[in-house]
Structure 1
Amino acid sequence: MRIGGVKDAVRAGTAAAACGVLLMSLAACGGSDGGGNQKTDGVSAVRTGQAKARTTGLKAIPEVGDRLRGQIPAASRQVVAVYGEGRNATGSTIALYTKHGSTWDRTRVWQGHNGKKGWTTDHHEGDNRSPVGVFTLSDAGGVLADPGAKLPYTRSASFQAPHYWSKSHWHDFDYVIAIDYNRVKGTSPNEPTRPEGQSKGGSIWLHMDHGSGTSACVSLSKSGMEYLLRTLDPAQHPVVVMGDKADLKA
Structure 2
Amino acid sequence: MVVLAAACGVLLTTLTSCGGGPDAQKSDARSADAGTPKDKARTVDLKRIPDVGDRLQSKIPDNSRQVVTVYGEGRNSADSTVVLYTRTGSTWDRTAGWKAHNGKKGWAADHHEDDKRSPVGVFSLTDAGGVLPDPGALLPYTETASIQAPHYWAKSHWRDFDYVIAIDYNRVKGTAPNDPTRPEGQSKGGSIWLHMDHGSGTSACVSLPKAAMEKLLRTLDPKQHPVVVMGDRASLQT
Question: Which amino acid letter does the alignment assign opposite residue 134 of structure 2?
Answer: D
Is the counterpart of residue 206 in structure 1 residue 189 in structure 2?
no
CA distance in 1, matches of 2:180, 2:140: 17
1:37 deviates by: 6.3
- What residue is the counterpart of 1:104 in the other structure? 92
1:53 deviates by: 3.7
User: Alignment partner for residue 12 of structure 2, among 2, 23, 48?
Assistant: 23
- What residue is the counterpart of 2:211 in the other structure? 223
Residues 27-176 of structure 1 aligned to structure 2 (within 5 Å):
27-30=16-19, 31-36=21-26, 38-43=28-33, 45-46=34-35, 49-50=38-39, 53-54=41-42, 58-176=46-164
Unaligned runs of 5+ in 2: none
Distance change >3 Å, CA 28–CA 97, structure 1 → 2: same
Q: What number of residue pairs does the alignment pair up?
A: 235
1:21 deviates by: 1.9
Q: TM-score, normalised by structure 1?
A: 0.89
CA distance in 2, matches of 1:131, 1:48: 20
The Cα offsets for residues 24-77 of structure 1, whole Å up to 9 and x where unpaired, read as 21122122214326433421x436844x74189711000100100110000000
Q: Which runs of 4+ in 1 moved over 6 A?
A: none
Are the equivalent residues in 2 in contact too, given 1:38–1:210 (CA < 8 A)?
no
Distance change >3 Å, CA 35–CA 101, structure 1 → 2: same
CA distance in 2, matches of 1:55, 1:98: 17
1:23 deviates by: 2.0
CA distance in 1, matches of 2:131, 2:36: 31
Distance change >3 Å, CA 222–CA 91, structure 1 → 2: same
1:162 deviates by: 0.6
CA distance in 2, matches of 1:20, 1:136: 27
Unaligned runs of 5+ in 1: 5-17
Are the equivalent residues in 1 in contact too, given 2:101–2:200 (CA < 8 A)?
yes
Distance change >3 Å, CA 96–CA 56, structure 1 → 2: farther
